[in-house]
Structure 1
């Protein structure tokens, strides 16, 4: 009898970057965004049935693996709730390429800068909320404050860079205004949209998956890794593409098709993101960890609570979901 698949474990080794890259290349497949709700619900049902060993007779391994792919791409790992399609990581390529391409193309006027930074940060806020650690609920007031703060920071940064560089930098350098604003806003957007995780700590478990306590330091580590991943995700497209476009726009044939510069940048960003989304998501393990001795030094109160909850069986490391 063939060995059964561990439905809750990734198909590839997550202790290596290559394994994580393969996993996220598979699970962030943009084609899963167009799968209907009925198919997604059926995939979730099959995953739950397979977990219990009650799947329909004749179910093939290929069907189980595809159901697992749909389930992991569309449902939150903590709550099991179906995610908004526009907030899923599998929507990063189509959503990100359209918005980033527009930011890179239309950056010359203050209105264009403000508008596209607002669109981008609205999209990022949705993605950050959708991929938060769902065991740390956020109130509506906190969400509104976080959204306004994040979008405002992006627009202020973008306008500040534009006005500062307008007199001091060449038109080529001004092409990097969108990236400077996006990088700065990510440092604000992610912590604000997930502030409850830092205020109250996120759930930490031992190596057996048993919840042993909460930690604010774990939340801070999760934030820092997600921020690095998000900036890495957009960096190549926003840093390399301006160089390419600066040179390409000097060619006579490009001067004749100025109306296509926007679509060209959108498609180019899509090529970058197709590779960079799994790269960025795979930079750090999804199941993040920390030595308990580190927690004892930085956050002694949380350490004492975890130590008390564990009794004699004190783990060497604690584990937590960093989010995406």
Structure 2
């Protein structure tokens, strides 16, 4: 091999949006979901070997980079455990396009709205759990309560909006019921699925990666950014596609292929998500930071613990994994 890469560091500058976009476009590649379990395990082994300088003779840089891609797409950054394929961010495009397309197509009856909101929030709950900060475990009871609360809020929001708009808005505006429900549910689903982080705080480190303590404010900041990212992720497809469908559905050729309306919406959502998944993940740095002066003001007890852990020299900023 010509030059060794830094296996635990990103290939792009993550301090910029463009760098983060390139990184997430690379790591959320949907094709990685089709890779076999053995290939993923082999990729992890190669990454670990390369980290120690013990990779097999003749291993090329391209092989290491591909193994790094598979490892980062399928294994949790905190625990190193292999993630459920349906909960990986790389599955957001195929999973999201199918479910969102169905929500946009089947919005006319309350039964269809409730069903697809339940499917969507079940999928979101799995994604949120899979991409949580793994150093803050959640109990089975908390998981069940979070799931029931999140799915219920989505369905109630959807039915409530639909009932409110039924007599007050045109069929066009009723197309936006799914987005309103999804946005509202994300504000409930993500905090509930990651409630242990808010209750107990998440691990924070200094610039060099040394653990200095825990912070609830850090958890709140990270989760808030994830909520914003998820809403932004689905917004273009759920806001622009209804306008497109409203314009083209009256044409005779579209009337003749009504059975293709759902697949058309699914493919349309897929086009939006292919760009929006990496773009939304790139809005905020993955390694998030917070000023310790804020902690000193709002979390004095945790700040004092950090002060003890740092021998009285608390860094100006602390860093943490915000999750996805």
Which bin holds the TM-score, normalised by the shorter protein? Answer: over 0.9
| Match of residue 115 from structure 1 | 115
Partner of 2:305: 305
Q: Counterparts of 1:228 and 1:215 in 2: how far apart (Å)?
A: 21
Deviations 1:125-160 (A, max 9, x none): 000000000000000000000000000000000000
TM-score by length of 1: 0.99
Q: Which residue of 1 aligns with 2:105?
A: 105
Instruction: Quote the residue 2:36 is aligned against.
Output: 36
Give the whole-Å Cα distance in 1 for the aligned partners of 2:300 and 2:236: 40
Q: What is residue 196 of structure 1 aligned with on the other side? A: 196
Moved over 3 A (4+): none
In the alignment, what sits opposite 2:88?
Answer: 88
Question: Which residue matches 1:265?
Answer: 265
CA offset digits 1:51-94 (Å, max 9, x no partner)? 01111111100000000000000000000000000000000000
5+ residue gaps in structure 1? none
SS at match of 2:213: strand
SS of 1:288's partner is strand
C-alpha distance in 2 between matches for 1:151 and 1:287: 29
Aligned counterpart, 1:314: 314
Unaligned regions of 5+ residues in structure 2, if any?
A: none
1:232 corresponds in structure 2 to 232
Report the Cα distance in structure 2 between the residues aligned to 1:257 and 1:3, rounded to whole angstroms: 56
Q: Which residue of 1 aligns with 2:170?
A: 170
Deviation at 1:314, TM superposition (A): 2.2
Matched, 1:295 2:295: yes
Per-residue CA shift, 1:11-69, capped at 9, x if unaligned? 00000000000000000000000000000000000000000111111110000000000
Separation of aligned partners in 2, 1:314 and 1:198: 22
Structure 2: distance between partners of 1:169 and 1:197: 40
Q: Secondary structure at the match of 1:207?
A: coil
Equivalent residues, number: 324
Q: CA deviation at 1:2?
A: 4.1
Aligned pairs for 1:10-159 within 5 A = 10-159=10-159
Q: Secondary structure at the match of 1:168?
A: coil
**How many angstroms apart in 2 are the aligned matches of 1:261 and 1:223?**
36
Distance across 1 between alignment mates of 2:295 and 2:8: 28
